[in-house]
Amino acid sequence: SQTIHQWPATLVQPVGSPLSLECTVEGTSNPNLYWYRQAAGRGLQLLFYSVGIGQISSEVPQNLSASRPQDRQFILSSKKLLLSDSGFYLCAWSDVGIYGYTFGSGTRLTVV
């Protein structure tokens, strides 16, 4: 069966520090991978999605970047965090959308 792992669960980082969040999927190959952010009291915002290794699409301009170095690994990064980067970050995968999305458990990021 397919599983998705996302870590860390919580993170407190100072402004200006770098960020690296990792997401991995098991039990499938060539999944579509997604990073979402959920700010307090707001809906889910799609940040990046990837349909294959090295293929990244960005939905909104921001202080973040994403990479897909391996088929089932998706990384969200920042060189210098801003206060506005605080939020709940969710990774998800889908099998070209046919069977829907499966989400990871999320990372609560607080930038101080």
Partner 1 sequence: KQEVTQIPAALSVPEGENLVLNCSFTDSAIYNLQWFRQDPGKGLTSLLLIQSSQREQTSGRLNASLDKSSGRSTLYIAASQPGDSATYLCAPNTGNQFYFGTGTSLTVIP
Residues 6+ apart with CB under 8 A from 69: 53, 75
Give the binding range for partner 1 (CB under 8 A) out of 11-19, 21-29, 31-39, 70-78. 31-39
Q: CA–CA distance from 62 to each of 33, 59, 103 (Å)?
A: 19, 9, 22
Query: Does the footprint of partner 1 cover residue 49 (CB under 8 A)?
Result: yes
Q: Of 3 and 17, which has the nearer Cβ to partner 1?
A: 3
Query: Does the footprint of partner 1 cover residue 108 (CB under 8 A)?
Result: yes
Preceding amide of 61 cis, omega within 30? no
Q: Of 15 and 60, which has the nearer Cβ to partner 1?
A: 60
Query: Does the footprint of partner 1 cover residue 87 (CB under 8 A)?
Result: no
